[in-house]
Amino acid sequence: MAEFTMDLNDEQKEVRDWLHGFAADVIRPAAAEWDEREETPWPVIQEAAKLGIYSLDFYAQQFFDPSGLGIPMAMEELFWGDAGIALSIVGTGLAAVGVLANGTEEQIGTWVPQMYGDANDVKVAAFCSSEPDAGSDVASMRTRAVYDEAKDEWVLNGTKTWATNGGIANVHVVVASVDAELGSKGHASFIVPPNTPGLSQGQKFKKHGIRASHTAEVVLENVRVPGSCLLGGKDKLDERLARAREKAKKGGERVKNAAMATFEASRPAVGAMAVGTARAAYEEALEYAKTREQFGRPIIDNQGVAFQLADMRTQIDAARLLVWRASWMATTGKKFENAEGSMSKLFASETAKKVTAQAIQILGGNGFTREYPVERMHRDAAIYTIFEGTSEIQRLVIARTLSGLPIR
């Protein structure tokens, strides 16, 4: 088991510096343009693919870092560059992880490469789970999957929302209910191959922030996929449903808590994204405060500004430490007995909102304009307290974990 350390090793530092260079030289110069265009930054994704950053291999290497710090380190550097573009680069990973976690070896080998394409023809993938009436309340999912035994096909109907790359993806991974009585335990995941009839893009959202990342509804109207597109296969699904039905008769709280542990393990990555955005805003504010003069001296000489910067840096470092702790715990198999995953995501996301707002205040009128990047960073930071579980949900998870009450 890897021991926790505050020092990155030489290989980790090399990767961090490489990603930082890409973020500084490629992502940042393009950030304002693609934010204004509100379009997927295909040229930037292609450049990331050429360098090996936009690839399953790269993220697998970071995921299997024995210290657990590979993924949060990568997320922080990319999102330091720009949150919208970074999400366009890493968004496919959501779908890829869905296949890696639930798919067979054959499904992984067939579909994951099609999610990324190659450097000359990049593709993206979409993970479709949220619905208009089922965001935090996943048990209320209405999208249905019905098995047509005669044709060995699954028929999907429903509407997904807030799907990153939804509708423009080469491959969609769709979560649907196969047994509504079991709530979230009756869900299964399906691959929808390219150009499958019945799948269409619904509303494309014009967002407050992360505008370089494509977010849209995905409409499923009698979408038929082969039986082989059920992730994990039907035998495995039938066994899981049978166990869930039996446990439901006895009381399924233990199953629900085990499922919640899976979400706990994924939340630190979002926390790392928030840390990257917060750090970027802090650095902009610090440099501005050191060079901006009022009343004959740099404004950082004023305690009102200097103390804000001190608080900003302290909060960022604290957020990073919470993210690193949770990431290390997930990798080394330590239980989240106090909802440490949710703690990291909650504190980091709230820190990003607070720090980016303080950065605008330090820049004054300049910070309120699009001529300076802190305005964009503040808009981008708002998403961290919403996706992957709102701050309110994180507090609920933490409180119920501490109290011993069931997490529903």
Q: Tell me if residue 388 is catalytic.
A: yes
Catalytic residue among 264, 350, 388, 392: 388
Per-residue three-class SS string for the chain: CCCCCCCCCHHHHHHHHHHHHHHHHHHHHHHHHHHHHCCCCHHHHHHHHHHCCCCHHHHHHHHCCCCCCHHHHHHHHHHHHCHHHHHHHHCHHHHHHHHHHHCCHHHHHHHHHHHHEECCEECCEEEECCECCECCCHHHCCCEEEEECCCCEEEEEEEEEEEECCCCCCEEEEEEECCHHHHHHHEEEEEECCCCCCEEEEEECCCCCCCCCCEEEEEEEEEEEEHHHECCCHHHHHHHHHHHHHHHHHCCHHHHHHHHHHHHHHHHHHHHHHHHHHHHHHHHHHHHHHHCEECCEEHHHCHHHHHHHHHHHHHHHHHHHHHHHHHHHHHCCCCCCCCHHHHHHHHHHHHHHHHHHHHHHHHHHHHHCCCCCHHHHHHHHHHHHCCCCCHHHHHHHHHHHHHCCCCC
Residues with active-site annotation: 388
